[in-house]
């Protein structure tokens, strides 16, 4: 059974059981406290907290996810950065009994997975959190005929899930493991965890389940790892298998890169862009270990698109962009290698003591130059310098990973708070859109990082190439005019009366700050902004696309 059928069968099964099928949301979440979408429930978070779901109380989806938390695990049989998660969700509708029965029916009746090889885990309870053992789930599994010795109890590390981000719904979970692999996670959202990690019971109970498509394919197709399934095999076939872990890292990372770029992310040194850069460079380093020639990533990226082109048609339409970004990043990285080796060489000479350098020093050299330990050893050897206690290199690496892993899931706040250029650019864009398209244009949302801005606005149809060019030109004209950005405080009423634009979704305080650029733009805003428009450089629209009925989205950058 191939993965396309698994996806289809899952959604069909749940549709028949009264679930509305909801398309995958973007890998870039609306929740600003997380960097990527890491779970199917993320787009539904408000519906667990009482907000009415526009899709009804039962939904199912196949969600694109990207998990930086698993990046260092990639290479084993079943950890990945990019994955697809199948899930069914209930917002105050069914709870434990039906959720467990549905999962049981799909896996063991519909897909006929061997029940004998399955193990079930449930929450053992936690005194600190004052959450009791999940006796109910144990009973439900038993009623389905699962013997007691197949039901294992674990604490909060393993069997309590969520929240995603800084706060949100969470609760005990029960997992289904088949042939030793965790396949399906059923979370029972009974609590709300706030920023101080305090739990309060939710008024409305919910179900959030997640089953990795790759892992499901692995057990259904009876493969030793996710990499042998049809979701990876065509990529793997193109990479030498002399070092299996390295081969898998390349396959995982190139897939992750293709999907991240398809969402408009570009390599950079911060936030999402830095993760993209890390995986492209990681794949490039791995390719070097396997002695692959330059640009080896391009045919692999094409394989990724082959595998997914029917499920995610936008990959095909963005193919040229995706390949160009990968090729440029890899070339830049390779080109810089000679220079980086030279720096490493100098650092070795400088830091040696009595003809040797320690593993800790080697790690510092590595983190500055990205030259790996084996090559550092060779370079040191060329100068007759020895490397002592290499183990220290690896322990430093582990320490560092611990830190970066904790940080990586969180957005570093950088973009939103520290990008005055892009905030000002957003105002100019808003004003330009209203001048060129008409006064019906209203801001529906925006997301600003220090790399790019995203601006959602009301407009009934696709913008023409000419309109895009006119808007871009007008913004650039205003940048060149070097307008002063004026900041004034006034009452909300006065601001609106004097024509300041307000973002309708926001609730404003009585006294607001208004930023204006001559008589071109005037908006209520928290800032920050630049002093003069000429600080922006050049404004470029990268993309104009639909983002819901009557709403368009523009992605733009400053160069």
Nearer to ligand SER, 86 or 524 (CB): 86
Q: Which of 208, 263, 330, 447 binds ligand SER (CB under 6 A)?
A: 208
Position 187 contacts ligand SER (CB under 6 A)? yes
203 touches 50 (CB < 8 A): yes
Q: Which stretch binds ligand SER (CB under 6 A): 205-213, 271-279, 362-370, 413-421?
A: 205-213
Nearer to ligand SER, 182 or 228 (CB): 182
521 touches 477 (CB < 8 A): no
Q: Identify the residue whose tokens are 């050299």.
A: 365
Give buried/exposed letters for 534-556 (b at 16+ CB in 10 A, else e).
eebeebebeebeeeeeeebbbbb
Nearer to ligand SER, 79 or 452 (CB): 79
Rounded to the nearest whole angstrom, what is the least distance from the CB of residue 264 to ligand SER in the complex?
Answer: 24
DSSP conformation class of 106: I
Q: Which stretch binds ligand SER (CB under 6 A): 34-42, 449-457, 493-501, 548-556?
A: 34-42
Position 29 contacts ligand SER (CB under 6 A)? no
Nearer to ligand SER, 39 or 266 (CB): 39
Position 450 contacts ligand SER (CB under 6 A)? no
475 touches 425 (CB < 8 A): yes
Position 185 contacts ligand SER (CB under 6 A)? yes
Position 273 contacts ligand SER (CB under 6 A)? no
Position 171 contacts ligand SER (CB under 6 A)? no
Nearer to ligand SER, 57 or 329 (CB): 57
Q: Which stretch binds ligand SER (CB under 6 A): 35-43, 257-265, 303-311, 506-514?
A: 35-43
Alpha carbon distances (Å) from 322 to 34, 256, 298, 327: 24, 12, 9, 9
Position 500 contacts ligand SER (CB under 6 A)? no
Query: CA-CA distance, 366 to 377, in Å (whole number)?
Result: 11
Query: CA-CA distance, 113 to 265, in Å (whole number)?
Result: 39
Q: Which stretch binds ligand SER (CB under 6 A): 11-19, 203-211, 337-345, 412-420?
A: 203-211
Query: CA-CA distance, 74 to 82, in Å (whole number)?
Result: 10
Position 472 contacts ligand SER (CB under 6 A)? no
Position 188 contacts ligand SER (CB under 6 A)? no
359 touches 393 (CB < 8 A): yes
Q: Which of 37, 159, 174, 209 binds ligand SER (CB under 6 A)?
A: 209
Task: Locate 58 and state its tokens.
Answer: 């039962």
Tell me the Ramachandran region of residue 355: left when phi exceeds 0, alpha when psi lies from -120 to 50, beta otherwise.
Answer: left
Nearer to ligand SER, 29 or 210 (CB): 210
Rounded to the nearest whole angstrom, what is the least distance from the CB of residue 161 to ligand SER in the complex?
Answer: 5
* Near ligand SER in 132-161, by CB under 6 A: 161
DSSP string for 36-62: S--SGGGGGHHHHTTPPPTT-SEEEEE
Size of the site for ligand SER (CB under 6 A): 10
Nearer to ligand SER, 40 or 282 (CB): 40
Nearer to ligand SER, 165 or 415 (CB): 165
Q: Which of 172, 185, 190 shows the shortest CA–CA distance to 125?
A: 172
Position 455 contacts ligand SER (CB under 6 A)? no
Alpha carbon distances (Å) from 133 to 159, 160, 200, 526: 10, 11, 17, 46
CB-based closest residue to ligand SER: 210
343 burial type by CB count under 10 A (0-12 exposed, 13-18 middle, 19+ buried): middle
Rg value, the chain, Cα: 26
CA atoms within 13 A on the CB side of 500: 23
Position 48 contacts ligand SER (CB under 6 A)? no
Nearer to ligand SER, 83 or 525 (CB): 83
Which SS3 state, helix, strand or coil, does residue 155 take? coil
Position 163 contacts ligand SER (CB under 6 A)? no
Q: Identify the residue whose tokens are 């930086």.
A: 68
Rounded to the nearest whole angstrom, what is the least distance from the CB of residue 93 to ligand SER in the complex?
Answer: 16
Residue 153 has phi, psi (to 5 degrees) of -105, 135
State the chain's maximal CA–CA distance in angstroms. 77
Position 10 contacts ligand SER (CB under 6 A)? no
Q: Which of 271, 254, 272 shows the shortest CA–CA distance to 263?
A: 272
Q: Which stretch binds ligand SER (CB under 6 A): 207-215, 229-237, 456-464, 507-515?
A: 207-215
Position 431 contacts ligand SER (CB under 6 A)? no
Position 210 contacts ligand SER (CB under 6 A)? yes
Query: CA-CA distance, 89 to 517, in Å (whole number)?
Result: 47
Nearer to ligand SER, 90 or 426 (CB): 90
Position 87 contacts ligand SER (CB under 6 A)? yes
Nearer to ligand SER, 188 or 227 (CB): 188
Which SS3 state, helix, strand or coil, does residue 223 take? coil
Position 40 contacts ligand SER (CB under 6 A)? yes
Nearer to ligand SER, 39 or 283 (CB): 39
DSSP conformation class of 78: S
Q: Identify the residue whose tokens are 């694109």.
A: 64
Position 420 contacts ligand SER (CB under 6 A)? no
Residue 312 has phi, psi (to 5 degrees) of -125, 80
Nearer to ligand SER, 165 or 273 (CB): 165
Binding site for ligand SER (CB under 6 A): 39-41, 87, 161, 185, 187, 208-210
């Amino acid at each position: 059974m191939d993965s396309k059928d698994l996806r289809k069968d899952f959604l069909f099964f749940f549709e028949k059981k009264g679930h509305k099928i909801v398309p995958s949301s973007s890998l870039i979440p609306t929740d600003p406290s997380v960097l990527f979408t890491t779970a199917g429930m993320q787009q539904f978070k408000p519906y667990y907290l009482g907000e009415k779901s526009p899709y009804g109380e039962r939904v199912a989806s196949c969600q694109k996810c990207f998990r930086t938390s698993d990046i260092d695990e990639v290479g084993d049989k079943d950890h990945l950065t990019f994955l697809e998660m199948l899930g069914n969700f209930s917002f105050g509708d069914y709870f434990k009994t039906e959720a467990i029965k549905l999962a049981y029916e799909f896996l063991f009746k519909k897909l006929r997975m061997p029940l004998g090889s399955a193990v079930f885990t449930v929450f053992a309870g936690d005194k600190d959190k004052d959450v009791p053992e999940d006796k109910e789930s144990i009973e439900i599994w038993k009623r389905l005929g699962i013997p007691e010795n197949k039901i294992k109890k674990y604490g909060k590390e393993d069997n309590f899930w969520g929240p995603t981000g800084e706060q949100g719904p969470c609760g005990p979970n029960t997992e289904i493991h088949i042939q030793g692999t965790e396949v399906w996670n059923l979370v029972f959202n009974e609590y709300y965890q706030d920023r101080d990690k305090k739990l309060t019971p939710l008024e409305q109970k919910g179900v959030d389940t997640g089953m990795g498509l790759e892992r499901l394919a692995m057990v259904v197709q009876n493969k030793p790892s996710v990499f042998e399934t049809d979701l990876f095999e065509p990529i793997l076939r193109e990479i030498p298998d002399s070092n299996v872990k390295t081969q898998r890292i390349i396959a995982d990372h190139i897939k992750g890169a293709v999907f991240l770029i398809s969402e408009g992310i570009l390599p950079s040194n911060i936030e999402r862009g830095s993760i993209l850069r890390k995986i492209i460079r990681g794949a490039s380093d791995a390719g070097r270990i396997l002695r692959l020639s330059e640009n080896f990533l391009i045919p692999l990226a094409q394989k990724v698109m082959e595998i997914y082109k029917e499920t995610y048609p936008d990959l095909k339409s963005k193919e040229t962009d995706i390949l160009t970004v990968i090729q440029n990043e890899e070339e830049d990285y390779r080109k810089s290698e000679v220079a980086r080796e030279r720096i490493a060489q100098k650092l070795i000479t400088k830091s040696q003591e009595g003809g040797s350098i320690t593993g800790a020093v080697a790690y510092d050299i590595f983190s500055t130059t990205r030259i790996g330990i084996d090559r550092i050893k060779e370079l040191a050897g060329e100068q007759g310098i020895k490397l002592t206690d290499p183990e220290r290199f690896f322990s430093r690496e582990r320490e560092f990973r611990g830190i970066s892993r904790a940080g990586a899931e969180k957005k570093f706040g950088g973009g939103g708070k520290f990008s005055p250029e892009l905030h000002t650019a957003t105002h100019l864009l808003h004003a330009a859109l209203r001048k060129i398209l008409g006064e019906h244009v209203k801001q529906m949302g925006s997301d600003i990082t220090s790399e790019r801005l995203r601006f959602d606005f009301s407009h009934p149809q696709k913008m023409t190439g000419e309109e895009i060019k006119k808007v871009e030109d007008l913004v650039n004209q205003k940048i060149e005019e070097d307008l002063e950005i004026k900041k004034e405080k006034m009452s909300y009423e006065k601001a609106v009366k004097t024509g300041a634009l307000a973002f309708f979704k926001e609730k404003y305080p009585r006294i607001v700050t208004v930023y204006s650029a001559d008589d071109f733009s005037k908006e209520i805003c928290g800032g920050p902004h630049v002093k003069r428009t000429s600080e922006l450089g050049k404004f470029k629209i990268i993309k104009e696309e639909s983002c819901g009925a009557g709403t368009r989205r523009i992605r733009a950058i400053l160069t």
